[in-house]
Amino acid sequence: MKFKKIFVLMLCVFTIALPATVSAQNIFPAVSMEETSPGIQPRKNVTGYKYMTLNGKRYKRLWSYTYNRWEDPAWTPA
């Protein structure tokens, strides 16, 4: 019983006496545009609407000229 009290007391003393140091390290360093290759440059996504007429109604859908794919999920009335 006495051993248990001493053990708990020592555990409390060490917990309070030893400060917990935490250091945050940045694992993703910041890279500026000047450090990247001069041949690679970001470009804006070029988009435009494609139109379709079906049964006398006009529909539109957004097309990405950069990626050659539809950006809108479905045709919408124009």
Q: For each of the chain's 78 residues, which pLDDT tens digit applies?
A: 787 888 888 777 767 766 666 666 767 767 665 655 667 777 888 999 999 999 999 999 999 999 999 999 999 998
Model-level pTM greater than 0.75? no
Sequence spans of domains, the chain: 46-78
Q: The tokens of 72 are what?
A: 């809108």
